[in-house]
């Protein structure tokens, strides 16, 4: 073990330090790429959410029209039954 410690010069330590720093820079760059991909996915989900909001509004309008039509049909049936009696 002592022989290994003697072989570590300042130049070798500086080189190791540079290599470690370069490795972390590459990792940081990859995380930045991943963060960008997540941002893109978030934007796509926002678009889907916006479309779903529009779809929900359409279903609510359809449900309101269906209720109005059923009330009209029931009123017409009550009127028809009243004229038959």
For the segment 36-61, the average pLDDT, to the nearest whole number, is 92
Query: What's the CA gap between 8 and 19, in Å, rounded?
Result: 15
Tokens 């038959």: give the residue. Answer: 84
Query: What's the CA gap between 28 and 16, in Å, rounded?
Result: 18
The answer as to whether 4 is a domain residue is no
Encode pLDDT of 65-76 as tens digits.
Answer: 999 999 999 999
The answer as to whether 5 is a domain residue is no
What is the count of structural domains for the chain? 1
The answer as to whether 52 is a domain residue is yes
Residue 11's pLDDT is what? Answer: 84
Residue 1's pLDDT is what? Answer: 46
- 10 Å CB burial of residue 53 (0-12, 13-18, 19+) is exposed
Q: What is the mean pLDDT of the chain?
A: 89
Residue 10's pLDDT is what? Answer: 81
Structural domain boundaries enclosing 50: 27-85
Tokens 């359809």: give the residue. Answer: 62
The answer as to whether 47 is a domain residue is yes
The answer as to whether 22 is a domain residue is no
The answer as to whether 33 is a domain residue is yes
The whole-model pTM stands at: 0.48
């Amino acid at each position: 073990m002592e022989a290994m410690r003697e072989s570590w010069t300042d130049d070798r330590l500086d080189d190791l330090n540079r290599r470690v720093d370069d490795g972390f820079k590459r990792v940081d760059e990859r995380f930045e790429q991943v963060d960008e991909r997540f941002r893109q996915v978030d934007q796509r989900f926002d678009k889907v959410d916006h479309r779903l909001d529009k779809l929900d509004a359409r279903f609510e309008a359809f449900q309101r029209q269906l209720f109005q039509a059923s009330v009209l049909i029931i009123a017409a049936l009550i009127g028809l039954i009243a004229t038959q009696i």
